[in-house]
Amino acid sequence: MNAETQNSARDHTNNPAPDHTNDPAHDPGYNFAYLDEQTKRMIRRGLLKALAIPGYQVPFGSREMPLPYGWGTGGIQVTASVIGADDTLKVIDQGADDTTNAVSIRKFFRRVTGVKTTEKTAEATVIQTRHRIPEAPLREGQILVYQVPIPEPLRWLERRESESRKMHAYAEYGAMHVQLYESIARFGRITTTYDYPVKVADRYLMSPSPTPKFDNPKMHMNPAIQLFGAGREKRLYAVPPYTRVESLAFEDHPFEVQEWDDACALCGDDKSFLDEVVVDDAGTRMFMCSDSDHCRDRRAAGHRGGAEGAAAEALAAMTGGTDDGSNKDRAEDWAKDREAAQ
Amino acid sequence: MTPLLSVDAVTFRYGKTLACDRIGFDLHPGEVLGIVGESGSGKTTLLNCLAGRLQPDSGTIRYTRANGEAVDIYRLGEAERRFLARTEWGFVHQTPRDGLRMGVTAGGNVGEPLMAVGNRHYENIRHEAASWLTKVEIDADRIDDRPTTFSGGMQQRLQIARNLVTGPRLVFMDEPTGGLDVSVQARLLDLVRGLVRDLNLSAILVTHDLAVARLLADRLMVMRRGRVVEHGLTDQVLDDPHDAYTQLLVSSVLQT
Ligand SMILES: [Zn+2]
């Protein structure tokens, strides 16, 4: 982890933050990245252990953060522990860079680190995310930090922590397929669309956090480092670069990702993860990329979708502006999904 | 013939109380052993020791695996012991909710042990689950219903199906008819007796009910205060008890 070695070796006081007119430099009232050095070291030790045992949940002493649980305090602590002054940070929520959550986390890190921030996946060295993996392929040297609400994939099945720990220790995962069985029995197919369980490096069962199963294949053999932090539950886990990540399935009901009959109304992409959005008061609905950076990139390269005139303008204004209800719907769907699984 | 289970001097203490005092016996393939006694006799503690769920203070329990290898079950690591229990044994609890997942459908409950031993074909699992529901006299139409919608007798039959679906070589039963009405008990007993005979099951059954023991067990062990006071063929023990305590037990049944 080069971010780690750089960071611990660095003396921040002699290393002024990059000069960014929009970004206030590191607020001297806080230690670099808010957490004290001892806490960051403790978290980094946990992350190294997590990387050494891919998919294994490592307990850590989660700290109070200036945001309530549920706002990504686990991911923030992980980011704070691995980020260095030379890093470039991207924060996304549901694929978008400008939701309230993403904006406040980005502001927070600008203030407490002074690092450069970006909305471009390719420029970022650290990406903190909730709910999505960017469409653009990640590369070696990038770190993807996931905010995780519920790290234990066996929770729905086994409420006793002592027992689920044994199930992990002995790789007793047969019962995990019961969840998929129940879904097929009720709906004729596997309906789990978020937080779809995976097996990491052929050993540990892992929750991909509430990312859509559309993104599961991106976790497999990814060149980037994937780090997961659950603040309330005080757990860290990780997928090192180029690690096998397999989504559970049955032989006669193989794993499949979501597909849409539509393409993005703005950029015409029919392969990215699409959100359905309402574009006017008449309730006209259109699809657009959930990854706003990806969509902008495609449009910049000349790709166009079906939206025209006012609808296209309305949509473009929304790019990233995801407080339009669709994400609330998705968050609710996800909550229902979890409840049904309990 | 090699015994399936060979138990030697198994002792378990709760503080100063000897719950099991140097218990020993052999169980042969295809045999059903009944362990009878009143509550506090140590029979349930013994069953838990035998089933790998409670490590005795001393003594050995040797089990002959399907591959012919004899293992001392408490010399195995916990992972291996759990694997053994999952792949070769069954355990029927007195209370169905202890042995079932109440939030999972009947099909999921019966299918889970198949998935736990690596079956990954949905249709095969479902087919096998439906067939087992029928064998325990539950309408296969109920396959997608949760056990919470079942009667107590049905729940117990579902638990039995869940235990037998993987074809275990040895089944432990703890008062399997315990909480049920008399008429429901009779039906369940008939069913279990039929399954034991048809599948040539080896089983260890704990019960306080001599009528249940007479119907199901080939041999009986009578326990009192942690000790075996009488051990023999079921009919002999019940028709011609030698031990004074067994005589008392038998006569109390006859009086009621
Ligand atoms: Zn697009």
The last residue of one of the domains, among A147, A163, A183, is: A147
Q: Which of A84, A229, A289, A305 is catalytic?
A: A289
Q: A53-90 as b/e, with b when 16 or more CB fall inside 10 Å?
A: bbbbbbebebbebeeeeebbbbbbbbbbbbbbbebbbb
Predicted local confidence at residue A341, as pLDDT: 44
Strand A58-59 and strand A235-239: the pairing is antiparallel
Out of B103, B117, B144, closest to residue A174 by CB: B117
Give the pLDDT band of residue A328 (cuts 50, 70, 90). Answer: very low
Please check whether residue A151 is in contact with residue A210, taking contact to mean a CB–CB distance below 8 angstroms: no
Check residues A7 and B8 and name the one with the higher pLDDT.
Answer: B8
Predicted local confidence at residue A29, as pLDDT: 85
- Tell whether A175 is covered by a domain: no
| Reported pTM | 0.82
- Tell whether A308 is covered by a domain: yes
- Tell whether A255 is covered by a domain: no
Predicted local confidence at residue A308, as pLDDT: 76
Using CA atoms, how far apart are residues A287 and A137, in angstroms rounded to an integer? 22
A340 touches chain B (CB under 8 A): no
What SS3 class is residue B63?
strand
Closest CA to B91 of B19, B44, B159, B187: B159
Which of A182, A191, A246, A342 would best serve as a mutation to test chain B binding (most B beta carbons within 10 A)?
Answer: A182
């070291």: which residue's tokens? Answer: A41
Q: B200-210: per-residue pLDDT in tens?
A: 899 999 999 99
Predicted local confidence at residue A76, as pLDDT: 95
Residue-range definition of the domain harbouring residue A43: 2-147
**CA angle, corner A323, sides to A320 and A328, nearest 5?**
120
Over chain A, what is the mean pLDDT? 85
Please check whether residue B236 is in contact with residue B23, taking contact to mean a CB–CB distance below 8 angstroms: no
Predicted local confidence at residue A307, as pLDDT: 79
For the cut 80, the answer to whether the pLDDT of residue A318 exceeds it is no
For the cut 70, the answer to whether the pLDDT of residue A57 exceeds it is yes
- The neighbour count for residue A342, using CB atoms within 10 Å, is 9
- Beta-strand ranges (E) seen in B73-135 are 89-92
**Contact residues for B256 (Cβ-Cβ < 8 A; gap 6+):** none
Cα B239 to chain center, whole Å?
24
According to DSSP, the residues that pair with B26 across neighbouring strands are B6
Out of A157, A175, A181, closest to residue B125 by CB: A181
Predicted local confidence at residue B225, as pLDDT: 94
- Tell whether A334 is covered by a domain: yes
Predicted local confidence at residue A319, as pLDDT: 61
Cα A194 to chain center, whole Å?
12
Could you tell me if A278 and A143 lie in one domain? no
Contact residues, chain A, for B103 at CB < 8 Å = 342
Using CA atoms, how far apart are residues B77 and A70, in angstroms rounded to an integer? 40
Q: Is A295 a catalytic residue?
A: yes
Q: B57-97: per-residue pLDDT in tens?
A: 999 999 999 999 999 999 999 999 999 999 999 999 999 99
Q: A138-185: per-residue pLDDT in tens?
A: 999 999 999 999 999 998 888 888 999 999 999 998 888 999 999 999
**If you count DSSP H runs as helices and E runs as strands, how many of each does chain A have, helices first?**
10, 12
For the cut 50, the answer to whether the pLDDT of residue A9 exceeds it is no
Predicted local confidence at residue A2, as pLDDT: 45
Length of chain A: 342
Strand B170-174 and strand B89-92: the pairing is parallel
For the cut 90, the answer to whether the pLDDT of residue A109 exceeds it is yes
Give the pLDDT band of residue A325 (cuts 50, 70, 90). Answer: very low
Q: Which residue of A has its CA nearest to B105?
A: A182
- Tell whether A321 is covered by a domain: yes
Contact residues, chain B, for A186 at CB < 8 Å = 105, 144
- Tell whether A162 is covered by a domain: no
- Tell whether A159 is covered by a domain: no
The last residue of one of the domains, among A124, A147, A170, is: A147
Using CA atoms, how far apart are residues B220 and B229, in angstroms rounded to an integer? 11
For the cut 60, the answer to whether the pLDDT of residue A337 exceeds it is no
The burial class, CB within 10 Å (0-12 / 13-18 / 19+), for A29 is: exposed
Which strands make up the sheet holding A58-59, listed edge to edge?
A58-59, A235-239, A225-230, A143-147, A126-130, A88-93, A116-117
Q: A244-285: per-residue pLDDT in tens?
A: 999 999 999 999 998 899 999 999 999 999 999 887 788 888
Q: Which of A114, A295, A305, A320 is catalytic?
A: A295
Total structural domains within chain A = 2
The last residue of one of the domains, among A121, A147, A173, is: A147
Predicted local confidence at residue B255, as pLDDT: 56
Give the pLDDT band of residue A24 (cuts 50, 70, 90). Answer: low
Closest CA to B17 of B225, B222, B245, B206: B225
- Calculate how close chain B gets to A155, using CA atoms only, in Å: 13
Cα dist from B33 to B11, B52, B60, B113, B197, whole Å: 19, 17, 18, 25, 14
For the cut 60, the answer to whether the pLDDT of residue A71 exceeds it is yes
- Tell whether A227 is covered by a domain: no
The lowest-confidence range among A87-101, A212-226, B22-36, B123-137 is A87-101
